[in-house]
Amino acid sequence: NNDSQRVKTQKWLEGFSSCILGAEQHRVLGLERRVRAFVLLIVVISAVGFVLVDIGLLSEEAMFKNIELIDKTGVNRGFGMMAQFELREQFLAARRGDRDKFDHASNYLHRISRQLTAQHVINYEAMGSEELAAFYNERQCTFVVPVADVWVNKTMNYWEYATEYSRHFARAGSTRMEEMASLDMRLGHISAEKANVHFVYENTHRNYIPTMEELMSKYEDNVEALGGLASQSVQVIVAINAIMVVLMSAFVIRTLPDCLKSLQSKQLGCDFGLSLPRNVCARLLKHYEDTVIQMRIMEDEDAAIHAVASGLEDPP
């Protein structure tokens, strides 16, 4: 009975089926584990790299130390214009006798003086490059200062310059209402406070605003440099990932075909034999036996022909 024989054969194979293709299965599973490890490593390297770029360059350096400081330094630049407007408001209020308006303008001048000083200190403590440090400590700023009844050129580094300028804002805002209403602006005839009003008008457009513009260009250059560094970092991360993908692909291409070839041939051989009836298997066996016999006959004929060609006699 073919069916009963197949059942017996199947049960017999099941006794040691776990050992069939065991080595090949381990090779394929090991290859799968290595591929998964490669993929996980690529993901980890990419994630860590991009997180470091985002936190180290884009967030802390570029966003806080540069972009935010550009915004605050732009406000400092506007303080020079606002100081002039508020001094004009003080003068008009003094001429009209409007004490409330005069005091409001005076308080505003003192407030922007404090804000300029505080932001200047924050900028100095948050310098993100050697170029900015050189600008704060070595950049020489020149402006005119009223001394007695003459104007004197004065030069100092930017750190001292911004601090000094904020002090002039506050002192100009301390001018008395009665003196502010006077049209006399001669240095020898006005107080030190009103001389600072003169100082603001003389230096804001000539020195203060151009210096702030130069500082902002330094911050913008620093942001551009950090952007280039971030781009290079991303390119390096992508290059590393590409190299790892190529290595993983080469490893898989070299290893997988051998595993699949041996695994597939033995799997198909076992499944094919088990799936056929016994009489068909017998015919296949006879066919392959006949083929083997024919191949042996052909080999004998080739050997005989070779012997004749070599001049040897066949045995009787």
137-166 burial, b if ≥16 CB within 10 A, otherwise e?
eebebebbbbeeeeeeeeeeebbebbeebb
Q: What angle do CA 264, 265, 267 make, to 5 degrees?
A: 65
Structure tokens at 80: 């020079």
In a domain, 252, yes or no: no
Asked if the structure places residue 264 within a domain, the reply is no
Burial of 267 (0-12, 13-18, 19+ CB in 10 A): middle
307 located within any domain = no
Give the pLDDT score at 63. 57
pLDDT recorded at residue 1: 45
Amino acid code (one letter) for 131? E
For residue 77, give Cα distances in angstroms to 120, 146, 158: 12, 22, 14
Report the pLDDT value the prediction gives residue 81, as an integer from 0 to 100: 87
CA-closest candidate to residue 81, choices 195, 212, 196: 212
Considering its fold, how many domains does the chain have in total?
Answer: 1
3-state secondary structure of 269: helix
Q: Is residue 167 part of a domain?
A: yes
User: In this predicted structure, what is the pLDDT of residue 19?
Assistant: 62
Structural domain including 169 reads 48-242
Burial level of 28, CB count in 10 A (0-12/13-18/19+)?
A: middle
Q: Is residue 183 part of a domain?
A: yes
Residue 310 maps to a domain: no
* Rounded mean pLDDT for each run of 10 residues along the chain, 316 residues in total: 55 62 69 81 82 66 64 79 91 93 93 90 80 89 88 92 90 92 88 91 90 85 74 81 82 71 58 69 78 80 73 52
pLDDT of res. 172: 92
Scan for tokens 């280039």, then name that residue: 228
The predicted pLDDT at position 274 comes to: 65
The pLDDT value given to residue 66: 65
> 145 is written with which tokens?
């200062």
Distance (Å) of CA 80 to CA 23, 114, 117, 200, 216: 82, 13, 13, 8, 15
Tell me the C-alpha distance between 70 and 58, whole Å: 15
Q: What is the DSSP letter of 316?
A: -
- Residue 40 domain-assigned? no
> For the segment 8-60, what is each residue's pLDDT rounded down to a tens digit?
656 666 665 566 556 666 777 777 788 888 888 888 888 887 777 766 665 55
What would the DSSP string read from start to end of 159-224?
HHHHHHHHHHHHHHTT--HHHHT-----GGGS-HHHHHHHHHHHHIIIIIHHHHHHHHHHHHHHHH
Long-range contacts of 59-64 (CB under 8 A, 24+ apart): 61/128, 61/226, 62/223, 62/226, 62/227, 62/230, 64/126
Residue 140: the pLDDT is: 92
- Tell whether 137 is covered by a domain: yes
pLDDT at 108: 92
